[in-house]
Chains A and B, each alone.
Chain A
Amino acid sequence: MGNVGNVWAVVAIALVAVATFSLGYRGSRHASTTQDFLVARRTVRSRRNAAAVSGEYLSAASFLGVAGLVLKDGVDALWYPIGFTAGYLALMLFVAAPLRRSGAYTLPDFVEARLSSRPLRRVSTAFVLVIGVLYLVPQMQGAGLTLGMVLHTPGWVGALLVAVIVVVNVFGGGMRAITVVQAFQYWLKLFAISTPVFVMCAVFIGSGGTHGGESRGLAEPLPPTFSAPTSIDVTTPVTLRVVEPVWLSAEGRVDGGSARGPVFWGPGTHEVDADTKLMFPGGAPVPSVAGTPSTNAEWLTPTGGGTSDLWTTYSLIFALFLGTMGLPHVLVRFYTNRDGKSARRTTLHVLLLLGLFYLFPMIMGLLSRLYVPELLVTGKTDAAVLALPGKFLSGTLGEILGAVTAAGAFAAFLSTSSGLLVSVAGVLSTDILKGRVRDFRYAAALAGAVPVVIAVFVRPNDISMSIGMTFAVAASTFCPVLVLGIWWRKLTPAGAGVGMTTGGLCVLGALVATTVSGYTGNWAPWYLQQPALITVPIAFFTMILVSKATQRSVPADVNRFRLRMHAPDPLGFIRDRDVARFGTAEERARLAEGRHRR
């Protein structure tokens, strides 16, 4: 991208930031009570709430990561968007309405209310913080990547910028402002990814499906080819797999020796060290990072890599399907629904909005296999969405579309990070600090700072894959607590605590092992890279077994709580913590006597 393109992108990113600020500011002038800050007075309509849930949920992993993985892994990567959406079906089936009626605002609230145990609340607070931070890190890294592509800044600048914008915005308005902002962010993201896709598809079909001339069709069984002479800077060491012999010229260290000038690569694997420049002629076949499908035929067909690929796929489906319900920022959002019924309807809308969105990253991934295959060489395929428009359409149109996707990506980081920050800060301020508005602000600043530090010092992985691990943590800790807590009366505090800790520690162990293996030659087998298929059943079984063994400590009010969660809304058993604590006199009166009303 040239300098002119940078200007467009900077303007677009600045516009997103300003719009986020001003919407947040306008909302915050009305937000003045603690209740406004925390729960938006529960006046948010289900359709806008659904847009807000989707806006908050569509993170860097969805906006950049899905297209990048489609480019790299082909049809297997489609399980990510499927899982991201299917998670909401699971949430709707097992959690949405009862959780809303339970009146719990955060996950620790639910755990404490259901099992009446303070220590258990601490355990779940710890896991909320772990999930929040794990989820924030890839957002920050994505922001670093985007800003790096646009302005060639080092990674930490983007991370810091996103953190500052979000923290300031959360300072100002709390959740109500955020609801408006999130709903806006969904439509912004949909626009930012669909417009380039429509334009590019129009151009692609208009030119007979061979726009750009030299590139090789996806149906051919060989590797993709460079459409023009391309030079690539390799900044991290990489192992490439070559299928078709290729001539290139290299400067730096290749295959263990220093290289300066023409190099011939036969079929096999080749090592490229950091700070090496590779130059490929136009029409040359593209080598790709070892471990990813290198020919289009492998890329087009599912599970090319044998049974371990199959297990990874199932494990991923498991993590995403069951992990969504355990994400703290998603559940907080459900509290702004009026009652259980509208919580369900909100989820239904979310299914629609997400299904609509995910068509576009998939098309982006397909097109980028044709036009930006050079990303396969460095393995940094997360940049596909950002790089594609500029490469596909030369001139101002391409630059403007590139700017639009950059702005959309930025919207993705902003919305997900602010959602996470609000919920992490909410938990921090009410559980560890004293729960005043001031504490909420301290907590927000703290929760923004920690992930930035981690994002700067840990080597970035594929965004979607890191997110997959976060889902595995959520699926192995909060999913069993929620499902069993809502549907099984015999759950005991000890069972929930032991089960959650076991599941969570298993996943964290696998995460550490995978990270170590990333630095020492990728030896980790599938069950360490994506452990949910094993850890979720472990968590469920531990929880059930320990509960069976400690039946005497079943909470006394379990039946009353079950009635509150499952009795239909018109009967009026719903009870809101914040109405009792902060509500207006009228609302409190309704709460006190509203039991027998229709």
Chain B
Amino acid sequence: MSRHSAGPPSNGEQGQQPRPRRKRVVLADSRAPVTVLRTVVELEEQTSYGEELVSNLVGRQLRTSLTIAFITGGILGVLPVLFFTVPSLAEMTIAGVRLPWLALGVLPFPLLFGMGYVYNTYAERHERDFVDMVEK
């Protein structure tokens, strides 16, 4: 039920009392954090200020995503061409296992998880910052 509902009282109440009970109507509550409403409304009404805020957030998230995608893609993407152009690297062994097998069979999985973890941390931080700013 909405805080500001001003419709007719519900049937249940009417059945018990002949007259509607007197209600205190508060048009502005000075104790409530007014800015919360104002900024969210600006977001919702898509004022230029609200648009600016959203664009800012979207831009930040996209930059983080692209950075992490390029770092991961760069690390993994350089491997085929590296092994192709420097064959001696492909024949190196570490503890009896060929380097390519380690570099492709084991290494990528911790790398991918680590990148995901870092991204998650950043993305959640950006969102928290945004909420804090909107509701301050």
B112 to chain A, nearest CB (A): 5
Interface string of B37-73 (1 = CB under 8 A from A): 1001001101000110010011001100100110011
CB < 8 Å neighbour of A341 from B104, B106, B127, B130: B127
CB < 8 Å neighbour of A92 from B1, B54, B83, B119: B119
Contact B127 A595 (CB under 8 A): no
A345: B residues at CB distance < 8 A: 120
Contact B128 A89 (CB under 8 A): no
Contact B130 A562 (CB under 8 A): no
> Is A559 interfacial (CB-CB < 8 Å)?
yes
Q: Which residue of A lies closest to B107 (CB)?
A: A82
With known contacts A359-B106, A567-B54, A314–B77 Cβ distance under 8 A: yes
Which DSSP category, helix, strand, loop or mixed, fits chain B's interface? helix
> Is A25 interfacial (CB-CB < 8 Å)?
no
A341 to B124 CA separation, bound complex (whole angstroms): 7
> Is A14 interfacial (CB-CB < 8 Å)?
no
A77 to chain B, nearest CB (A): 9
Q: Which residue of B lies closest to A365 (CB)?
A: B105
Interface-located stretch among B8-16, B23-31, B84-92:
B84-92
Contact A568 B128 (CB under 8 A): yes
> Is A571 interfacial (CB-CB < 8 Å)?
yes
A200 to B91 CA separation, bound complex (whole angstroms): 27
With known contacts A487-B58, A559-B46, A85–B112 Cβ distance under 8 A: yes
CB < 8 Å neighbour of B115 from A89, A362, A563: A89
A51 to chain B, nearest CB (A): 16
Q: Which residue of B lies closest to A321 (CB)?
A: B73
A344: B residues at CB distance < 8 A: 120, 123-124
> Is A549 interfacial (CB-CB < 8 Å)?
no
> Is A302 interfacial (CB-CB < 8 Å)?
yes
Contact A302 B110 (CB under 8 A): no
With known contacts A302-B90, A314-B77, A78–B104 Cβ distance under 8 A: yes
Q: Which residue of B lies closest to A344 (CB)?
A: B120
Contact A563 B98 (CB under 8 A): no
Give residues 7-40 of A contacting B (CB, 8 Å). Answer: none
B103 to chain A, nearest CB (A): 9
With known contacts A317-B77, A571-B131, A355–B112 Cβ distance under 8 A: yes
A475 to chain B, nearest CB (A): 14
Contact A310 B84 (CB under 8 A): yes
Which DSSP category, helix, strand, loop or mixed, fits chain A's interface? helix
Q: Which residue of B lies closest to A557 (CB)?
A: B46
A500 to B50 CA separation, bound complex (whole angstroms): 32
Interface string of A74-106 (1 = CB under 8 A from B): 010011001001101110111001000000000
With known contacts A563-B44, A566-B58, A593-B2, A85–B104 Cβ distance under 8 A: no
Interface-located stretch among A162-170, A235-243, A346-354:
A346-354
Contact B69 A563 (CB under 8 A): no
CB < 8 Å neighbour of A563 from B43, B108, B113: B43
Contact B101 A75 (CB under 8 A): yes
B37: A residues at CB distance < 8 A: 596
Contact A348 B113 (CB under 8 A): yes
> Is A303 interfacial (CB-CB < 8 Å)?
yes
A202: B residues at CB distance < 8 A: none
Interface string of A313-331 (1 = CB under 8 A from B): 1100100010000000000
- Could you tell me which B residues sit within 8 Å of A by CB distance? 1-2, 36-37, 40, 43-44, 46, 50-51, 54, 57-58, 61-62, 65, 68-69, 72-73, 76-77, 79-81, 83-84, 87, 90-91, 98, 100-101, 104-106, 108-110, 112-113, 115-117, 119-120, 123-124, 127-128, 130-131, 134-135
Interchain residue pairs A-B with the least CB separation, the first 3: A355-B109, A568-B127, A78-B104
6 contacts between A and B (CB under 8 A): A85-B112, A86-B112, A89-B72, A93-B69, A303-B83, A355-B110
Other A-B pairs, 13, CB within 8 Å; known A487-B58, A589-B1, A598-B135:
A75-B100, A75-B105, A82-B108, A86-B72, A302-B83, A310-B81, A347-B116, A355-B109, A359-B106, A567-B43, A567-B54, A567-B130, A568-B130
